[in-house]
Chains A and B, each alone.
Chain A
């Protein structure tokens, strides 16, 4: 399992791995928003939590189809399926590798991008915390979508359509934590909901992903 994680991280870091892709997309979204809505800092700081969460979510979505597609194309997915690794473990490791290469950099870069949008000072901690809590759910749900669409040519569009509705609860509660935090309100309710969603998806979805992956490999 660790070997699989190390290999996926290595592949992501090397040429053509698409490590910086999500981060660059996140930067582009946050830089372009002020051009679109105008330079009023009051308005920008009000919408900053929502924009940052949306940017992070879309950046996550961008790299989902690579999770299984590359392994499927070169035949390694078949070979991994016949290896001693349990399929549930494989999909969990894949989701973890996706989070480390996409979600974690987004969480770490978010304060910098929040500065560009003028997020109120009180919001930084809650923004980072909500992203740290919420992005693992995005990776796990995304892995499920990737398992569903593995083997389809140009499955990226279908994957986005399947996964986006499943992302809605995470987005609502994640952005709510960041917004309330920025306005100095109590955050514990949305924070607990967000944590619940993440814990639930991590506990249940790997089994579903493993099942659909086995069916798709037939």
Chain B
């Protein structure tokens, strides 16, 4: 269940943002993506998760192994914390949400509607969803936004447990999680402007045809 990315070129809104990206992620390892805002970290993660096709190159991994967590948590405000988690557990065909509730200290909030949670609590619920997916490769986009120091530690522990169990994680983040992870700076892979222009034109034509 190694995730490997070969010569990947990705585009956002028809304009290539990163090109020639190569990395691989073995089980038990974590890879931290770094790079300035707008460089294409989110686009890279969405491409790896299979939500958008790459312009060139390939992502070698079965999408069925990937659990993706985006900027937004995908919670339904009118459903309670446990209903939200049970829904995802049913969708992914896994049983039991107690481990996820425990891992992110949500036990006291189970019957609270998600709309009544604070931003940090919502984020914790969104991350707890990863534990009920039961999938080995986590793809996380800025997972620590609006988390306090204690919650960040809680999250780092969840990732460590996941890695120890043979899982792996690809994380775009700006803070130091204290993980034993390799850092991958995407800055040098920025697409060159002139190629971007041609590619933009061709995809623009394609959009019409």
Could you tell me which A residues sit within 8 Å of B by CB distance? 2-4, 7, 10-11, 14-17, 74-85, 217-218
Interface majority SS on A: helix, strand, loop or mixed? helix
A-B contact pairs, 7 of them (CB 8 A): A4-B91, A15-B78, A74-B76, A75-B72, A84-B92, A217-B52, A218-B51
Within B64-89, the residues touching A (CB, 8 Å) are 64, 66-79, 83, 86-88
| B51 near A14: Cβ-Cβ < 8 Å | no
B82 to chain A minimum Cβ distance, whole angstroms, is 13
The 5 nearest A-B residue pairs measured at CB: A75-B72, A3-B90, A76-B74, A218-B52, A75-B74
Q: A75-B72, A79-B68 are in contact. List 7 more A-B contacts (CB 8 A).
A: A7-B87, A11-B76, A74-B72, A79-B70, A79-B88, A80-B91, A217-B51
B87 to chain A: closest residue by CB: A7
Q: Is the CB of A7 within 8 A of B79?
A: yes
Query: Looking at chain B's contact residues, is the secondary structure mostly helix, strand, loop, or mixed?
Result: loop
B residues 38-60 with Cβ under 8 Å of A? 49-53
Question: CB < 8 Å: which of B68, B74, B78, B90 contacts A14?
Answer: B78
Q: For B67, B73, B91, B93, which residue has the most chain A Cβ atoms within 10 angstroms?
A: B91
Which residue of B63, B73, B78, B83 contacts A16 across the interface (Cβ within 8 Å)? B78
Instruction: Indicate if the CB atoms of A10 and B52 lie closer than 8 Å.
Output: no
Residues of B within 8 A of A74 (CB): 72-77
Chain B residues with Cβ under 8 A from A82's Cβ? 49-51, 63, 66-68
CA distance A217 to B51 in the complex (A): 7
Give chain B residues whose Cβ lies under 8 Å from the Cβ of A80: 91
B21-44 CB contact bits vs A (8 Å, 1 = yes)? 000000000000000000000000
Query: Nearest B residue to A3 by beta-carbon distance?
Result: B90
CB nearest to A218 among chain B residues: B52
Taking a contact as CB atoms closer than 8 A, the residue among A3, A7, A78 that contacts B70 in the complex is A78
Q: Which of B124-149 contact A (CB under 8 A)?
A: 129, 133
What residues of A have a CB within 8 angstroms of the CB of B50 in the complex?
A: 82
Q: How far is it, in angstroms, between the C-alpha of A214 and the C-alpha of B69 when the chains are bound? A: 18
Cα–Cα, bound, A84→B65 (Å): 10
CA distance A17 to B77 in the complex (A): 11
